[in-house]
Amino acid sequence: MEKENCYYVKNGLPNKWYNIQADLPEELPEEIDEICNGQSKIDQMNKIRVKELVKQDKSKEKWIDIPEEVIEKYQAIGRPTPLMRAIELEKYLDTPAEIYIKREDLLPTHSFKLNSAIAQSYYAKNEGFKGVISESGAGQWGLALSYATSMYDLKNCFFWVKVSREQKPFRADWCSFFGAKIINSPSNLTTTGQKVLSEDPNSPGSLGISIGEAIEFASKNTEYAYVSGSNLPHVLLHQTIIGLEVKEQLRNIGVKPDTFIACCGGGSNLGGFIGPFIFDPNYNKNTTFLAIESDAAPRLTKGEYEYDNADPYALTPLTKSYTLGRNYMPPPIHVGGLRQHNGSGIIGMLRHNKLLDAIAYSQEEVLQAGKIFMKCYGMIPAPESSHAIKAAIDIAIDAKKNNEKRVIVLCMSGNGVLDINAYKTLKPDKQ
């Protein structure tokens, strides 16, 4: 059975990723190179990255084969993940809206990050690297990478934003069981970390700082590849496994949503989820695509669409996306996965072309929404995912007021049982 040149094999698992770059209204703005310590930054980055991933970043091919070995791992981790109709939540809200949820939280390490971690580890192994070096915000990428690298017998070392690691000690233990080496960021191991610590010895860290540290560390440890868990086109590409599965699942139940919702940090779960729909002529008119961000890092709602570096000391080449400025220091909130100053160039372009709407919510209101979901279904959503739930709840409440039929689908990006400290900041309910 062929659909859109992508074959669904093995119970609804696609055998190709969808490359949105083939359909974008304009070409993605090129990275701008700069000379740093006498060397081109792009050359520097290419030296420490996996070649196949660099190639995928530039590809304009619409469909890219998922290697057979990666499809097997996707099956092993429980893909395709379910698309669930959230009837309990609809009843709780007493809404005429239908709410569907893509359950990426059911993956073994609790988030969608595994989809790209497996693919990246596979390519790194193929190219003969001994291991990978990366960064992590809330620790979900670090954990996914710890498991994925252990599948391929690779070493894994990552710089973890200090404040987030301290908020999530059990996730750190889980990573260490796979043999991962975790470094608290800012650290004394890199000049980036040393500079930050000399200005503020108690710096909580930020994703930008840990990116800077990871790149610097990888440049000195050349048997290791530098990999990243979001922002870059190849990460969004791997995550289209989510949207492609959803498309097939919606087709099977004969449902056509009018609203797609996902939380947005670097933009990979959002991009992978909505990517296969946004330029589909069956969907693109009268369909709302909604990015939900944290008001602690409101790039898409308050930032500028301009060139910026991903790290504060400008080791990375300039890429165009929505940014709050590379020196923006987000407050130490619990939604680590959304705490960064810029994000994906692809998401930036979609937003700039008015193909994507965005809303920012506060931590408090988002966690309250997560708690409503928990009461309906028993599980604790990742605080990042609770951003998407909050938006769905608001739309469903409006639908009731206006007596409107709405069909909403949201991406549940992760499970938040190890982010339980975030929910403990809420006042207890009255008994």
Where do contacts with ligand PLP occur on this chain (CB under 6 A)? 111, 113, 138, 140-141, 230, 263-270, 337-338, 382, 384-385, 413-414
Residue 262, beta-bridge partner list: 291
Q: Which segments within 44-91 are labelled E, that is strand?
A: 63-65, 83-85
**Of the two residues 113 and 341, which places its CB atom closer to ligand PLP in the complex?**
113
How many whole angstroms separate alpha carbon 7 and alpha carbon 63?
Answer: 11
CB 199, min distance to ligand PLP, A: 27
Residue 160, beta-bridge partner list: 136, 184
**Of the two residues 366 and 399, which places its CB atom closer to ligand PLP in the complex?**
366
Residue 414, beta-bridge partner list: 111
**Of the two residues 399 and 418, which places its CB atom closer to ligand PLP in the complex?**
418
CB 133, min distance to ligand PLP, A: 18
Residue 305 and residue 322 in contact, taking contact as beta carbons nearer than 8 Å: yes
CB 293, min distance to ligand PLP, A: 9
Beta pairing, strands 407-412 & 98-103 = parallel
**Of the two residues 19 and 340, which places its CB atom closer to ligand PLP in the complex?**
340
CB 147, min distance to ligand PLP, A: 13
**Of the two residues 204 and 266, which places its CB atom closer to ligand PLP in the complex?**
266
Residue 331 and residue 350 in contact, taking contact as beta carbons nearer than 8 Å: no
How many whole angstroms separate alpha carbon 273 and alpha carbon 172?
Answer: 28
Cis peptide before 80 (omega within 30 of 0): yes
CB 376, min distance to ligand PLP, A: 19
**Of the two residues 19 and 239, which places its CB atom closer to ligand PLP in the complex?**
239
Instruction: Compute CA distances 345 → 235, 244, 301, 388, whole Å.
Output: 12, 21, 15, 21
CB 304, min distance to ligand PLP, A: 19
CB 402, min distance to ligand PLP, A: 30
Q: Mark 252-277 as b/e (b = at least 16 C-beta within 10 Å).
A: eeeeebbbbbbbbbbbbbbbbbbbbb
Classify residue 54 by burial, with Cβ atoms within 10 Å: 0-12, 13-18, 19+: middle
**Of the two residues 391 and 399, which places its CB atom closer to ligand PLP in the complex?**
391
Residue 84, beta-bridge partner list: 101
CB 9, min distance to ligand PLP, A: 26
Q: At what angle do helices 114-126 and 233-253 cross, to 10 degrees?
A: 130
**Of the two residues 263 and 359, which places its CB atom closer to ligand PLP in the complex?**
263
Residue nearest ligand PLP by beta-carbon distance: 414
**Of the two residues 259 and 342, which places its CB atom closer to ligand PLP in the complex?**
342
Matching residue, tokens 């500028």? 304
CB 403, min distance to ligand PLP, A: 33
